[in-house]
Each structure stands twice: as structure tokens, then as C-alpha cells.
Amino acid sequence: MVTHLLMDDEKENRIGGAVGFNMRTGDYHVFKAKTVIVAAGGASHIFKPRAVGEGMGRTWYAPWSNGSAYALPIAVGAKMTQMENRIVLCRFKDGYGPVGAYFLHLKTYTQNANGENYEKKWYDHTKNLVGEYIDHHPTPTCLRNHAFIQEVMAGGGPIQMVTKEAFQDPHLETVGWENFLGMTVGQAVVWASQNIDPKYTNPELTTSEPYVMGSHATCSGAWVSGPEDLSPPEYFWGYNRMLTVEGLFGAGDTVGGSAHKFSSGSFTEGRLAAKAACKYIEDKKAEGIKVSEKQYTDLKEVIYKPLENYTVGRNEITGGTVSPSYISPIQGLQRLQRIMDEYVGGIATNYMTNENMLNRGLELLKWLEEDLENVGAEDYHQLMRAWELKHRTITSQCVTEHTKFREETRWPGYYYRGDHLKLDDENWHCLTVSRRDPKTKEFTMEKVPVYHIVDDKKEKKAS
């Protein structure tokens, strides 16, 4: 697992490599490098998941999405963008099975508990919040979520997917099951355990906890240079996909501001990043990098400290497993998830937050960060868990700072700023960019313009 990036000791803000440890043997690895590409996925498990207790660990986005993709660059002062833009998924309840595939392939539809089409009911209400965005086709996903959440709060739940009609066709029934057996086998198991056959029972839907990632329909991630041929001059700083740290590149979930990459877009972006990184080296931009032995031996001590915390602290335990001196990674994770859930717009508050809650969340996150100096790891697996937790915590701080900065509700259904409940194009039709000072750990925020490469108003006229 990579835990830290190395920096050039000679030239400020230039990359020098990365360090990490082997999760099976515990060996320490030092990679001195002329360029680094971060492609470590998104961030799940930063908000408290719906699946707790016996379902713990079940999430919609990948469980290895541990926030490293964001924490690694944030820690060395790289700029991030749109980190407030988390996603909430409408999914089959308890198994997180995909509903989009059902809409597309089976032409199924949703209804409230009384069999009514509830989305129409919330049209005027939503228009009042977001204006003409509600008239876009297809309806933006967050706005469909918004109708779902409002309907449940108004007492119309549970919301169901109408499968009983489509599943009478044997071909569609097979497709319906294969959708899960190929992608989310757990959903089929949940249905079996709850005696649900979608041919005879319309299954229940729910909205998930929020996720942060740069490839799957949200814009959160690193602020990178655009490509030479398309970018406005100030958004191109020499090498496509290079972050604001020289020689540091990103791809996939790591990179913000380019929301619809998914799998093929992510690996294509990886190729673009690799080509640009090679050009950076060919252009002799990576000459004379120095990484001192002190830099990586100091980091070695930091990385293995959780093992030391455990080895020393466990001697104070007189009964049970709770130590007066260290917290375990799972305790820290659950504390993080509650902070994010209750203050930053998770399921506990129906995705609602405001400036006061965000300030309190930031305060609690700071204390958590301090306490994570005392996280204890009993083996290398737990050491990985400790570092995942630290990475998720830095990511969460950035998400919270961004959510506080954007004083509007641009994505109702993903989260709500109760103190700024409407979409505000006049002030916030922009990208948000943050930077955390590596020394002081303080964030600074700025707005940067959105450039419409394709003028959608002209396009509409033409069509």
C-alpha cells in the first residue's frame, strides 16, 4: 500500500517518488521516481453506510476506494476540485443492486407505496429550487433522487420498482436476474433471504450513503491540466493530466472535473497520463531530483507507528480489548463515518447540512486527526486499515471544506445546504478549487470559471 508521496528536496513543489509497505510481509518500499501517476480509486466508506452490523462492509462503490487517490496529492499540497460533488445512488434495498440497468433493459418504473407515480408530484417543488434544470432530458439523477427523498419524507414510502410486469416475459426475467448475478450477486442473495421473487413482489428501493469519486458521474478529484488542443490557456500547464504538483499525474477516480469516465474513460485517461508523463521526462523536466535518505527514513517511522502504538498500549489492557492508549482502525472509521453522516449531509439528516453543522464537523474531524496519531495496529492488515483511515480522514476534511465553501444547493438529492437551499447560477456556476498547505494543514478555497466548450443553448436551437 502506498502511504505517502516523496517530494524533491531541491526544487519546491516537484515530485520525487512514493513510499509504502507490503501488506503481507511488512517490507518497507521506497520508489524514487521522475514522475508519479496516482490512480488509486475513489472514496467509499467515508459516510456511514446504510449497511451496518451484519451487513457491514457492503457498499455500492468499491470497498478498496479508501481515499488514497485524494489524500496522497492533498498531503503534498496539490489542488483539488469539486470535492463537494458527492453522489447518492438510488439502489435496490440492502444489496445495492443497480436500478439503471433495470430501467434501461427491462423498462421497469418506480412507484410509491400506493402505486402512484410520485415523481410528477414533485415537479413544481423542484423547479422552484433548481429552475430549468428540472426540464432537462433525461432528468438529472440528483433531481430524481430529490423526488424520492421528498416522497419518503412526506410519508409515501417505501418506494418500489415495478418488476412484476416485466418479469412475466421469460426473456426479461432472465435478463433481470443476470443483471445481478453478473454484477451484484449479493442482491440476488438478499432477495432469496427475504423471500422476494420480483416476478410476484415489487422490490423496495432506497437511497445510498454518499460517495466521492471522479470517474462515475461526479466531478470530485484532483485539479489537473487539460489537454493541449482543447483547454483554455490558463487550464493547460504543459502536460495533460498533470496535477498542480510538478511531475505528479492522475487518472480515473483521482481526477476531478471530468465526471463521465467510468471504466473505459478511466483507463484511457491512464494512457493519456502515461504519455504526458513520458513527455515530461523527455523534455528533461525531471532532471536533478534529490530525495534525501532522511525524507524516507522519517516517513518509515511514521508509517509503522500504529504497530508500535499497539505493541506498547496492549500491555495496559487488564480485561477485554479496549485500550486506554490507542484506538483501533475500526473504531476510528466508525467515528469518522458518524461525523460525516451527521454533520456533512449523510443519511442521518436526509442529506441536509448547513454552515454551522459543517463548522462543527470540521472541528470534530480535526480532533479525530489528532487522535489518529494513537491508532493501533496489531498486524500488517490492520496497519493497512490504519492508513486507509488516515487517508479517508484527509479526504473527508477536503469534502467538508468544499461543502462549506459552495453556498448553494446545486445537487438536491445528493446533498442540501439548508442555509442556501436553491441553486444559484449567478454566483456559483463555477468550479471550486482547494489547496491544503502541507505545513499548516489549513485549506484555502477559490472559485474558477466553467468554460462551455460546447454552447448547449446554440446546440438546442440547431436541433
Sites of contact with ligand FAD (CB under 6 A): 1-2, 20, 39-41, 60-62, 64-66, 68, 215-216, 252-253, 262-264, 266
60 or 167: CB nearest ligand FAD: 60
What's 376-406 look like in SS3? CCCCHHHHHHHHHHHHHHHHHHHHHHHHHHC
- Shortest distance (Å) from residue 102 CB to ligand FAD: 13
19 or 364: CB nearest ligand FAD: 19
Distance of alpha carbon 376 from alpha carbon 245, whole angstroms: 32
- Shortest distance (Å) from residue 59 CB to ligand FAD: 8
Distance of alpha carbon 187 from alpha carbon 232, whole angstroms: 45
Nine-digit cell string for 269: 485517461
Alpha helices, DSSP H, located in 214-354 = 262-282, 293-313, 329-343
CB 304 within 8 A of CB 22: no
- Shortest distance (Å) from residue 62 CB to ligand FAD: 5
62 or 448: CB nearest ligand FAD: 62
66 or 382: CB nearest ligand FAD: 66
Sole residue written with cell 487488564? 318
Distance of alpha carbon 162 from alpha carbon 200, whole angstroms: 10
Classified as helix, coil or strand, 427 is helix
- Shortest distance (Å) from residue 72 CB to ligand FAD: 7
Sole residue written with cell 467509499? 44
Q: How many CB atoms lie within 10 A of CB 312?
A: 13
Q: How far is CA 144 from CA 122, 128, 136, 199, 257, in A?
A: 9, 15, 12, 25, 22
- Shortest distance (Å) from residue 383 CB to ligand FAD: 12
Q: What one-letter code names the amino acid at 358?
A: L
CB 178 within 8 A of CB 184: no
Classified as helix, coil or strand, 288 is coil
For residue 156, report the phi and psi dihedrals to the nearest 5 degrees: -90, 5
138 or 182: CB nearest ligand FAD: 182
Sole residue written with cell 446533498? 415
- Shortest distance (Å) from residue 65 CB to ligand FAD: 6
- Shortest distance (Å) from residue 382 CB to ligand FAD: 15
Sole residue written with cell 446545486? 410
40 or 130: CB nearest ligand FAD: 40
- Shortest distance (Å) from residue 402 CB to ligand FAD: 20
CB 81 within 8 A of CB 50: no
The residue sitting closest to ligand FAD, measured at its beta carbon, is 252
202 or 266: CB nearest ligand FAD: 266
- Shortest distance (Å) from residue 241 CB to ligand FAD: 12
Nine-digit cell string for 377: 495496529
Distance of alpha carbon 5 from alpha carbon 164, whole angstroms: 53
40 or 291: CB nearest ligand FAD: 40
142 or 362: CB nearest ligand FAD: 142
